[in-house]
Amino acid sequence: MARDPAARHLELGLYRNAGLSGDLLPSLTPVPGEPLRYPLNGIALAPFFEGTEDPTHACFRRAEPRVVFGGTDSGVADPARSDGTALLDDIWAGAPFTGKGALLARVRSAVDVWRSAGLARPGRRRPGGGDGTEGLVRAVSRVASR
């Protein structure tokens, strides 16, 4: 459960440290000396069986506002369909990946699908042409290839 006094659903990001396997465990780093406790986005996660009277949340809303791989923010927004499925959801649905090359291929494929469906929103027109959509592919490719 998440310990936080907020009176709304907490928004937590999970993908930023996901491994090539798609495992989300790298997003959770244990708190030394405190068994079964993990911070996530600055919010303390702890087991239900503690019996605390602190305000807690059993549910949260996953929020990935930007495309992040390996803890590196690409600087690119993570667009979402009307059903709430985001670009990162489509990318990570292809996990496990055999290596960075496979992840990069999936990134390019997913971005192409989103772009052809008009879901990857172009940025402002840039001097010299281009609408910025190709920047999404370049930025994600650069980050994923590290």
The whole-number pLDDT of residue 138 equals: 60
* Chain centroid, CA 87 distance in Å: 9
**Do 94 and 106 form a contact (C-beta atoms < 8 A)?**
yes
Domain spans in the chain, listed from the N-terminal domain onward: 1-63, 65-146
Q: Which two tokens stand for residue 98?
A: 């055999």
Contact 12, 24 (CB under 8 A): no
Three-state secondary structure string covering 88-129: HHHHHCCCCCCCHHHHHHHHHHHHHHHHHCCCCCCCCCCCCC
- Please report, in tens digits, the pLDDT of each residue of the chain (146 residues total): 788 888 888 888 888 888 788 888 888 888 889 888 888 888 888 887 777 777 787 888 888 888 888 777 777 788 889 998 999 999 999 999 888 888 888 988 888 888 888 887 544 433 444 444 555 556 556 555 45
Strand arrangement of the beta sheet that strand 38-40 belongs to: 38-40, 43-45, 2-3, 56-57
Q: 120, exposed or middle or buried, with CB in 10 Å at 0-12, 13-18, 19+?
A: buried
Helix, strand, or coil (residue 3): strand
